[in-house]
Chain A
Amino acid sequence: ETGVTQTPRHLVMGMTNKKSLKCEQHLGHNAMYWYKQSAKKPLELMFVYNFKEQTENNSVPSRFSPECPNSSHLFLHLHTLQPEDSALYLCASSQAASGEYEQYFGPGTRLTVT
């Protein structure tokens, strides 16, 4: 595997389900990010982790819970989601949590909440 991988690629879940999104980077980076991409809206930064520590939570509802066990893995735990949470969730990584470093994105998980 190379670059940034995300699983699953597609997920359909009901509002009462609990599911997790997984991201893995094979680039030796120290920073990882979760973004939400909705139709007709800009990419929204959700969370930033730098050296496994959360450095930013962009006012994300608590029904989204991130976890970063090490610099290579990032999870997004989902529970009691709303239909408006349906979107493409993108994971990215960079050498460090600084915007001047190129962020490498995974292909995303297409989430549909029914």
Chain B
Amino acid sequence: QQQVKQSPQSLIVQKGGISIINCAYENTAFDYFPWYQQFPGKGPALLIAIRPDVSEKKEGRFTISFNKSAKQFSLHIMDSQPGDSATYFCAAVMDTGRRALTFGSGTRLQVQP
């Protein structure tokens, strides 16, 4: 049973465009939501993260939008660049002492020049 649902599975964006990846969760015990970026041949790396007490967090061209009532959060990549082409994973952490990451299924982003 997948606890964090991620969409789309793949995404093609033109250079300079906005990439949007969406995630949804069911369990309200989740209280920390990181995004990971993975390039081919590499392990995932933390990109940006948010807690549910804020609705938005921005770091450079990357923004997380969080809707607590809808139990949804999304990653926006502004001015997308070919170097952003990678697989992106959303994740969630549950505050129960068992604070392991639960990952979404991933989105393969391709930014065309």
A43: contacting residue among B42, B44, B45, CB under 8 A:
B44
Separation in Å of the A22 CB from the closest CB of chain B?
15
The residues of B that contact A107 with a CB separation of less than 8 Å are 41-43
Q: How many residues of B contact A (CB 8 A)?
A: 22
* A42 proximal to B (CB < 8 A): yes
A42 engages B43 (CB within 8 Å): no
Q: Report the Cα distance A92→B46, complex, angstroms.
A: 12
B103 engages A43 (CB within 8 Å): yes
Question: Per DSSP, are chain A's interface residues mostly helix, strand or loop, or mixed?
Answer: loop
B2 engages A56 (CB within 8 Å): no
B43 engages A4 (CB within 8 Å): yes
The residues of A that contact B4 with a CB separation of less than 8 Å are 42
A97 engages B44 (CB within 8 Å): no
Q: A43-B89, A45-B101 are in contact. List 4 more A-B contacts (CB 8 A).
A: A42-B102, A45-B102, A98-B99, A105-B43
